[in-house]
Amino acid sequence: MKISVKQVSEVRGEFFDAVVVFSFEGKKVRRVFDNSLTKIVSEIVEREKFSSKFGELLVVYKYKLPRSLRFNKIVILGAGKEEKFDSEALRKLGSVISKNAEKYNYSSVVVTDGWALKKLDYSLAFRALVEGLILGTYKFDRFMSKKEEDGKKVELREAVILRRGGSVGFEEVVDKVKVVAESVFLARDLQNLPSNVATPSYIANIAKEECEKVGVRVKVIGRDEAESMGMNLFLAVARGSEEEPKFVVMEYEGGGDKWYGILGKGITFDTGGISLKPSEKMEEMKFDMSGAACIIATIIAIAKLKLKVNVVGITPLTENMPGGRATKPGDIVRGMGGIYVEIVNTDAEGRLILADALEYVKRYKPEFVIDVATLTGACMVALGYEAAGLMGNDDQLKRIIKSSSERTFERVWELPLWDEYEEYIKSNFADVKNVGNRYGGAITAAMFLKKFVDYKWAHLDIAGTAFSDKEKYYISKGGTGFGVRLLLDIFENLEK
Ligand code: BES
Ligand code: ZN
Ligand code: ZN
Q: Which atom of ligand 1 is nearest to the CA of 272?
A: 13
Of all protein residues, whose CA lies closest to atom 16 belonging to ligand 1? 348
Q: Which atom of ligand 1 is nearest to the CA of 378?
A: 21
**117: CA distance to ligand 2 center in Å?**
46
Tell me the C-alpha distance between 261 and 329, whole Å. 31
Q: What are phi and psi of 310, to 5 degrees?
A: -105, 125
Mean pLDDT per 10-residue interval, the chain, length 496 residues: 91 90 93 83 94 97 69 94 98 98 96 94 95 97 80 86 78 96 98 98 98 98 98 98 99 96 99 98 98 99 98 99 98 98 98 99 98 98 98 98 98 98 98 96 98 98 98 98 98 84
**347: CA distance to ligand 1 center in Å?**
7
Please give the pLDDT value at position 149: 58
**Pocket test residue of 274, 279, 290, 347 for ligand 1, highest count of atoms within 8 A of CB:** 347
pTM of the complete model: 0.97
Tell me which of 351, 407, 433, 456 is the catalytic residue: 351
Tell me the C-alpha distance between 17 and 22, whole Å. 17
Q: What are phi and psi of 6, to 5 degrees?
A: -140, 165
**Alpha-carbon Rg for the chain in angstroms:** 25
Closest to 324 measured CA to CA, from 233, 234, 246, 242: 242
Cβ neighbours for 401, distance < 8 A, ≥ 6 positions apart? 370, 390, 392, 412, 458, 460, 486, 490
Three-state DSSP state, 88: helix
Closest to 111 measured CA to CA, from 196, 45, 16, 41: 16
- Is any ligand 1 atom within 6 A of the Cβ of residue 376? yes
Please give the pLDDT value at position 153: 80
- Is any ligand 1 atom within 6 A of the Cβ of residue 350? yes
Is residue 16 within 8 Å of 71, Cβ to Cβ? Answer: yes
- Is any ligand 1 atom within 6 A of the Cβ of residue 353? no
Has 304 been annotated as catalytic? no
**144: CA distance to ligand 2 center in Å?**
29
Tell me the C-alpha distance between 215 and 235, whole Å. 29
Cβ neighbours for 411, distance < 8 A, ≥ 6 positions apart? 386, 387, 388, 405, 465
Helix, strand, coil distribution of the chain in percent, nearest 5 = 40, 20, 40
Three-state DSSP state, 472: strand
**For residue 395, which amino acid is it?**
D
**485: CA distance to ligand 3 center in Å?**
23
- Torsional sign, CA 378, 379, 382, 386: negative
The residues placing their C-beta within 5 Å of ligand 3, an ion, are 267, 270, 288, 350
Looking at all shown ligands, the one closest to residue 466's CA atom is 1
Tell me which of 258, 277, 398, 402 is the catalytic residue: 277
Q: Which atom of ligand 1 is nearest to the CA of 434?
A: 19
- Is any ligand 1 atom within 6 A of the Cβ of residue 319? no
- Is any ligand 1 atom within 6 A of the Cβ of residue 463? yes
Tell me the C-alpha distance between 23 and 194, whole Å. 42
Closest to 184 measured CA to CA, from 115, 135, 225, 249: 135
Angle at the Cα of 75 from the Cα atoms of 73 and 80, rounded to 5 degrees: 165
Three-state DSSP state, 75: strand
Tell me the C-alpha distance between 431 and 332, whole Å. 10
Strand 158-162, strand 310-320: pairing: unpaired
Cβ neighbours for 402, distance < 8 A, ≥ 6 positions apart? 390, 412, 414
- Is any ligand 1 atom within 6 A of the Cβ of residue 199? no
Please give the pLDDT value at position 496: 58
Residues belonging to the chain:
496
- Is any ligand 1 atom within 6 A of the Cβ of residue 461? no
What are residue 333's DSSP bridge partners? 341
- Is any ligand 1 atom within 6 A of the Cβ of residue 270? yes
**CB-facing half-sphere around the CA of 44: CA atoms within 13 A:** 24
Of all protein residues, whose CA lies closest to atom 13 belonging to ligand 1? 347
- Is any ligand 1 atom within 6 A of the Cβ of residue 435? yes
**Pocket test residue of 287, 288, 351, 376 for ligand 1, highest count of atoms within 8 A of CB:** 376
Which helix (H) or strand (E) segment holds residue 227: the answer is: helix 223-228
**349: CA distance to ligand 1 center in Å?**
8
Tell me the C-alpha distance between 468 and 323, whole Å. 30
Which helix (H) or strand (E) segment holds residue 3: the answer is: strand 2-6
Tell me the C-alpha distance between 364 and 282, whole Å. 37
Has 472 been annotated as catalytic? no
Tell me the C-alpha distance between 463 and 135, whole Å. 21
**282: CA distance to ligand 3 center in Å?**
11
**1: CA distance to ligand 2 center in Å?**
39
- Is any ligand 1 atom within 6 A of the Cβ of residue 371? no
Of all protein residues, whose CA lies closest to atom 8 belonging to ligand 1? 463
